[in-house]
Amino acid sequence: MLRWFGVIFLTILIIIYPFRWEKGPTQKFGNSTIVHKKDRWTGQPWIITYGSIDGKIISGEESAVFPPSIIEAKKLSKLSGSEMQQKRVEIEQEITKQKQIASRNFEGHEKYLELANSMRDELVPHGWIKDKSGKKVYIPAGGWDWTPEKEKIIEQKIEAELPQQLVNQHKNYVSAQSRIKELSEELNNLPNLAEKQAMTELKNAAVKKRNIATGVWSSLSLLSLITIVISFVRRKNKIEA
């Protein structure tokens, strides 16, 4: 009886496996082909990508697909979570700190620019000027042969001539403003970061669920096979006895 139960159960498991995946449509986007399918056991839709996207060759890359409502809910959950809130607070505190640095150095920065621009006019003549022959020619700011290397040399000459305090205030102000811009972009990018994290967690959960379903099927199949073998051995031993 046990042997026949194992045989029947194993047969059922073998029969149902080919029907696990529901085939969906195939779509073409440029140089890529996307095949849709659905795991009937877990109810999770998947896509398989072939071809190339943005020059990257893709061959059989699987990815779970989720409704926008689920992604949005997971994203909002991540955004309101303690980790993301702490990150937001840290960024905002750093922005406040950098704004204070910029404010303290603003006057020195403005004075530096005023003096530096005056010196630059002397170091880099531009506009309508007379050449050696006395003919008027127009030279744009920086000169015809302006290069980043020459600009660096000019900046070094300016800094060498101006008081070090003004130079430091200018650098502190520029550095603070640059940092504020970076932090503001990072702050504005938090929703995108939350969505990326949400997608990663959803996909990992989908893969885990699929693997569990496959593992359960494999375990039941192996258990059924073991049951059949044990029943066969017992029956053989009983006959020989």
Q: Where are the domains of the chain?
A: 2-65+191-240, 92-188
- Which DSSP string do the residues of 37-96 spell out, in sequence order? EEETTTTEEEEEEEEEETTEEEEEEEEE---HHHHHHHHHHHHTSHHHHHHHHHHHHHHH
Q: What is the pLDDT of residues 3-48, one digit of tens each?
A: 666 678 788 888 988 999 999 999 988 888 999 999 999 999 999 9
Which residue in the block uniquely carries the two structure tokens 């139960």? 5
Q: What is the pLDDT of residues 211-221, one digit of tens each?
A: 999 999 999 99
How far is Cα 232 from Cα 5, in angstroms, rounded to an integer? Answer: 12
pLDDT at 236: 67
How far is Cα 127 from Cα 189, in angstroms, rounded to an integer? Answer: 43
Which residue in the block uniquely carries the two structure tokens 């505190």? 93
Instruction: Give pTM, 2 decimals.
Output: 0.74
Q: What is the pLDDT of residues 141-166, one digit of tens each?
A: 555 566 677 677 778 888 888 999 99
